[in-house]
Amino acid sequence: MAKTTKPKKQSSIEETLWDSANKLRGTVESSEYKHVVLSLIFLKFASDKFEERRRELLAENKEKYLEMKEFYNMKNVFFLPEESRWTFIIQNSKQNDIALKIDTALHTVEKNNPSLKGALPDNYFSRLNMDVNKLAALLDTINNIDTLKDKEQDIVGRVYEYFLSKFALAEGKGKGEFYTPKSIVNLIAEMIEPYKGIIYDPACGSGGMFVQSIKFIESHHGDKKEVSIYGQEYTATTYKLAKMNLAIRGIAANLGEVPADTFGRDQHADLKADFIMANPPFNQKDWRAASELTNDPRWRGYEVPPTGNANYAWLLNMVSKLSENGVAGFILANGALSGGGEEYKIRRKLIENKLVEAIVVLPQDMFYTTNISVTLWFLNKNKKARTIEINGRTKSYRNREQEILFMDLRQMGEPFEKKYTQFSGLDIKKVSATYHNWQQDNFENTYINTAEFCYSASLEEVIKKDFSLVPSKYIEFVNRDENIDFDDKMKSLQAEFVELLKAEEQSKKELLEVFKTLGYEIK
C-alpha cells in the first residue's frame, strides 16, 4: 500500500512575512528591522489604496483629477506621487540604491499628507546599510500581499499586529515596552466599554489600546466617529509606530506634536477624558529630580509622588485627566497595592475619595518584557447609582461608592507561544460579565462573592486592612496558601531569616571555642 503523505501546512501571510523579515538578521538588529518591515507594509497598503482610488476616478471619467491630492484625501486615501508608489519601488527593487529610493518614497508620502507628520522613518533605510539582495527578497514577499483582498479581515492591521507582538517577543526583557498583549487590552476594553467620548493613553506605545478600543466599538455595532483619541509617547521610534499603526486603520488621533515625556511636557494639559486605557512603564525610576514638578497641578489634593518610582505619578496623571463621569483601566506593578510613604498617603486619599472601583490581579507570564504578576486598576469618578444609555441599551448602576471589587485571575489563561499566558475569549467574557454584574442594579445580573475569584469589600473592611489593595487580603481562598496576609508573612519570614543568621553566627563561635579547647588555633 502506498504511503500517504500529509499535505504540507500552508504558511499564513504573517508567517511568510516573518520568515522573510528574519533574513535581514545579521545586518540589522531586531529592534531596527521592525521599522523596516512595518514601514514597507505601510507603503504597500497606502499604494494599494491609492491605486484603488485612481481606478475609481478613471471609471468616473475624471482623468484630469488623477494627480490632485484633494480627490484622494476626500476618501481618506493618502496621495502618493509617482516616486512613492509601490510599482516604482518594485521596478527598482534590484538596484543598488533601492534603500535611498525607499527613504525618498517615505519622505515624499509624509510631505504630501499632513496627517502623517512625524509618522514615517526619516532617512532610515540608507543609514542601515542593508544587504540589497535580502531587502529585495523582502520587497518581493510584501509585493505578494493583496492588502485590499478582504476588507472584513483587515489583512494589513492583522499583519501589523502580528509583527508588533513578534517583535516584542523577539526583543525580550526591557525592549518590548511598545506592545501590550492583546488579550489584556481586550479585557480592559470589555470592562470600561469605551463606546462614546474621549479616549486617552498617556503612555500609548504603538497604539494598541486605541486599536482595540475601535475594534470593541465596531464589534458591538457602535460608531467609531463618536470617539476622539488622544495619547502621548516618549520614544521617537515608537511614536512613529503608533502613528503608522493608526493610519493604516484610518483612525484619527492626536498624539501630540512630537514624541515627549508625559511628565516633563504634558501635551494634553487641559484634557478631560471619558475613558483612559494605559500600560505605563513599571516601577520607573528617576522620572523627576527632587526639585522638579513638586507644584504640578496633576498632584493637586494629593501628596507629591516619590522620585524613586513613577507608579503613583502615572496614576495621578490619569486621575487629573478624568472627566466628571470618567472611567480608567490601567496596569501597574503589584507593589503599588500596598506601598508605604507618599504612596500610602496617595492610595488612602484615592480610596477615601471613592475613586477606586476594582482591582484585578493578572496571571504571571502575560508580558513579554517581565514575568512578574501585575494588576489592573479601575478608577471611576461616578460610582453612584445612575442610569445611562450605552449603544442603544439602558444600564442601571448600583451605588458602589462604599465598595471596591477585588478579583484574582491567576488561575485563568491559556498557554501562548509556549512560555507565555493569554486570556481566552471565555476568560474575558467571564471577568467582564462579573464586573458589570457587580456594577449593575437589576435582577438578571446578580453578583455573588466567589471563593478564589472575586470579593466586594466594604470601605470599612479596606480601612481595617490599613488601605491595602492586595486582593488576597479580601478574597476567600480554600485549601491554598493565598488566604494569608502577605505583608505580615513577609515580615515574619524576614524576622526568621535574621534569627537564623544570628543562630549561625553563634554556632560558629561555639565551634571555635571547642577547637580552642582541643588545642587547635583557627585563623
Of 134-138, 190-194, 409-413, 439-443, which range is least confident? 439-443
pLDDT range class, residue 489, cuts 50, 70, 90: low
Which of 367 and 196 is assigned the larger pLDDT?
Answer: 196
Cα 513 from Cα 341, distance rounded (Å): 46
Q: Give, in words, the CATH class of 172-473.
A: alpha beta
Section 435-451 average pLDDT: 85
Q: What is the pLDDT of residue 222?
A: 87
Strand stretches in 356-489, DSSP E: 356-361, 374-380, 386-390, 393-397, 403-408, 414-416, 420-422, 454-458
337 confidence band (pLDDT: 50, 70, 90): very high
Predicted pLDDT of residue 259: 94
| Residue-range domain boundaries for the chain | 13-169, 172-473, 485-523
Instruction: Check pLDDT > 80 for residue 515.
Output: no
Give me the mean pLDDT over the 242-248 stretch: 88
Q: How far is CA 514 from the centre of its chain?
A: 63
Give the span between the Cα atoms of 207 and 178, in whole angstroms.
8
pLDDT tier, 266 (very low <50, low <70, confident <90, very high otherwise): very high
The pLDDT-based confidence of 8 (bands split at 50, 70, 90) is very low
5-19, 87-101, 159-173, 255-269: least confident range: 5-19
CA 371, CA 236: separation in Å to the nearest integer? 26
Task: Give percent of the chain with pLDDT exceeding 90.
Answer: 54
Into which CATH architecture does domain 13-169 fall?
Up-down Bundle (1.20)
43 or 446, which is more confident: 43
**Could you tell me if 287 and 262 are in contact, meaning their C-beta atoms sit under 8 angstroms apart?**
no
pLDDT at res. 380? 97
Residue 457 clears pLDDT 80, i.e. is over it: yes
* Structure confidence at residue 521 (pLDDT): 63
Contact 207/256 with Cβ under 8 angstroms? Answer: no
| pLDDT score, position 25 | 65
pLDDT attached to residue 82: 95
* Type and span of the H or E element at 405: strand 403-408
Is a pLDDT exceeding 80 seen at residue 10?
A: no
Per the CB < 8 A criterion, the answer to whether 167 and 34 are in contact is: yes
How confident is the model at residue 123, as a pLDDT? 80
Mean pLDDT of 452-460: 96
- How high does pLDDT run on average in the chain? 86
pLDDT of the residue at 443: 60
- C-alpha 94/C-alpha 169 separation (Å) is 31
Give dist(CA 183, CA 279) in Å, integer: 13
* Local confidence band at 7 (pLDDT 50, 70, 90 cut-offs): very low
Q: Distance between CA atoms of 88 and 50, rounded to whole angstroms?
A: 13
pLDDT at position 483 is 46
Residue 11's pLDDT is what? Answer: 58
| Confidence category of residue 505, pLDDT binned at 50, 70, 90 | confident
Return the percentage of the chain with pLDDT > 70, whole number: 86
Cell numbers of 58, please? 478613471
**Residue 480's pLDDT band (boundaries 50, 70, 90)?**
low
HEC readout, 154-201 = CHHHHHHHHHHHHHHHHHCCCCCCCCCCHHHHHHHHHHHCCCCEEEEE
d(CA 298, CA 111) in angstroms, rounded, equals 36
Which pTM does this prediction carry?
Answer: 0.84
Task: Report the C-alpha gap between 229 and 276 in whole angstroms.
Answer: 10
pLDDT(264) > 50 = yes
pLDDT of 320 higher than 90: yes
Count of all residues that appear for the chain in the document: 523
Q: Is there a contact between 446 and 392 (Cβ–Cβ < 8 Å)?
A: no
Burial of 183 from C-beta contacts in 10 A (0-12 / 13-18 / 19+): buried
- What number is the average pLDDT over the span 430-457? 89
Nearest to 205 by CA among 263, 255, 146: 255
The band of 71, judged by pLDDT with boundaries at 50, 70 and 90, is: very high
